[in-house]
Every structure is written in structure tokens, then in C-alpha cells.
Amino acid sequence: MQTDFHGTPIFYDHDVRGTKTLVLLHGFLEDRSIWSNLYDSFSPNLSLLAIDLPGHGESGLREEVLGMTDMAEVVFHVMTVTQTTSAYVMGHSMGGYVALAFAEKFPQACEGLILLNSSCEADSPERIVNRKRALQVIKKNKDSFISMAITNLFSPSARKSFESEIKKLIKKAQAMEVKSIEASIRGMIERKDRTQFLRQWKRPKYLICGAEDPIIPFSASKNMALLTKTPLIRLDGSHMGWLENPSELKKHLRFIE
């Protein structure tokens, strides 16, 4: 399905099943198709709304900087178009940053937050340096950057176990335009710290992390959970919980149903 947001095409899948809705937000270099292997396992009473964030998948791009709040406004627009007044929101990695921005700007529309392999913290100075370096690499060799970036989301053992899936993810991401990748990176650099916001959020909230996540170490997730008083769920695997451990992930999402 498609809608226009200020002249920019935004694509989404809306599986209408029941009165409760789960909004699914993918991460950087991903698209809404990452959730397809989870659909059949959800309750027939839970509606699902998966969105291609701007510059990803089939959705267009209009900004040079994809701010998290900017993308949250797109999410709210899609919810309005689909007559979804409120929903639980689950975001993977960058999608988690967007989910937090959404809950902050549109609290009345967010029934609960699930951050999957994500963080409420702003980028560290070291991470900002790395992202700025990535902006330079992309200009010279986009495909090499994508290949390295996606591979680095997996632990060494997972790279062997999910070799074919990693190749598919890389091939799909390489279809993205340079300007879309750059806009997302700039948006992540500029995003603000939402630790205090998550701490004060009184509705359901969960951090789901990977035991061997090379991007957001388990120790960091554990500390984040303590600081924000957020229940922590540990999955076996690295940064790609939706792919590496879907059955365990679905089990922990049954509270919504």
C-alpha cells in the first residue's frame, strides 16, 4: 500500500486482524520485509502495520537529514491514513530510535514501546566520529560500505550460520541511493538522548537485546534497563534478533495479544 507524505511516497503493509495494532519499524539499511517471517505467528486478533521508513525499501526521500522525529511524523501519518488511533510500536535498531521519538511526540498514539537491539542514548563521541567517517566512505564505495556495515551486525559465529541471509540483506540494501544512506546517518548523528524520557514513560516498555550484540553490547543494554527502569529481555544471538531468534522474540511479544 502507498500514501504520500508532503509529496513523498511512503509504502507500508497493513494486515488488519483485530482491535489491537503493532507497528513495526525496521532498522538502518533494512525495509519492512524483514518482519514478514513473523506475521503468521501473531495472534489473529492483532493487526500489523509495517512501514518502509523514508529512503528505505520503496519509500521516497525528501530531506538531506532524516531526523528521528521527522520519521516519527511519517509513522503518525501512516497510522492516520490507516485509521489506527493507537498502537504498540516495536523498532529494530534505528527503528527503535524512531519509536522513541514517536512516543515522545505522539504519546496519545503509543500504547507501548518495544526496543529491539536498540538504545535510548545519543551517539557517543566515538560513534559520531565513526559515522562521519562512514559518510566519506559511502561517497567512494557505497557497496563496500553496505557489505561491511551489514556483516558487522552479526557475531563471528552468526556470520557463518546466516551467510545466505546476510548476502540477501546486502544485495537488497545495495539498491538504496547514496543520498538516502547519508540522510539516515546524519539523522542518527543528530538524534538526542531519550534516556530520561524512557525512564519517565509509564506505559508498557521493553528492551530486547542480543547476548552477543556487537553494536549494542549486552552490558550496555543491562545498564540502560537499570537507568530507565525498563524490563530487559535477553535473546541468544547478536544484533539481528528478528532474524536470528524469531521464535523467542515472538514468545516475548505475546503480552500485546
Q: Which of 118, 76, 125, 79 is nearest to 97 (CA)?
A: 118
Segments making up each domain of the chain, as ranges: 2-256
Burial label, 214 (beta-carbon count in 10 A; 0-12, 13-18, 19+) = middle
The yes-or-no verdict on residue 205 having pLDDT over 80 is: yes
Sheet holding 2-5, edge to edge: 2-5, 8-15, 46-51, 20-25, 87-92, 110-116, 205-210, 232-235
Q: Could you report the per-residue pLDDT of 90-127, keeping only the tens digit for each?
A: 999 999 999 999 999 999 999 999 999 999 999 999 99
Q: Which of 81, 76, 12, 62 is nearest to 187 (CA)?
A: 62
Rounded to an integer, the average pLDDT of 237-252 is 94
Specify whether the CB–CB gap between 17 and 47 falls below 8 A: yes
Rounded to an integer, the average pLDDT of 28-47 is 90
* pLDDT classification of 44: cutoffs 50, 70, 90: confident
> What pLDDT sits at residue 17?
86
**Farthest CA pair distance, the chain:** 48
Angstrom distance (rounded) from CA 66 to CA 187: 5
Q: Which of 9, 177, 27, 176 is nearest to 78 (CA)?
A: 9
* Mean model confidence pLDDT for the chain: 96
Q: Does domain 2-256 have CATH number 3.40.50.1820?
A: yes
Read off φ and ψ for residue 51, nearest 5 degrees: -120, 135
Establish how many alpha carbons lie within 13 A of residue 126's alpha carbon, considering only the half-sphere containing its beta carbon: 1
Three-class secondary structure of residue 27 per DSSP: coil
> What pLDDT sits at residue 38?
87
Residues contacting residue 92 through CB under 8 Å, at least 6 positions apart: 25, 26, 27, 30, 34, 116, 117, 118, 241, 242
Q: What grid cell was written down for 239? A: 544484533
pTM of the entire structure? 0.97
Q: What grid cell was written down for 39? A: 506475521
H/E stretch holding 110 reads strand 110-116
Residue bearing cell 551467510: 163
- For residue 42, the 8-state DSSP code is S
- For residue 80, the 8-state DSSP code is H
The yes-or-no verdict on residue 148 having pLDDT over 90 is: yes
Rounded to an integer, the average pLDDT of 200-219 is 97
Establish how many alpha carbons lie within 13 A of residue 219's alpha carbon, considering only the half-sphere containing its beta carbon: 1
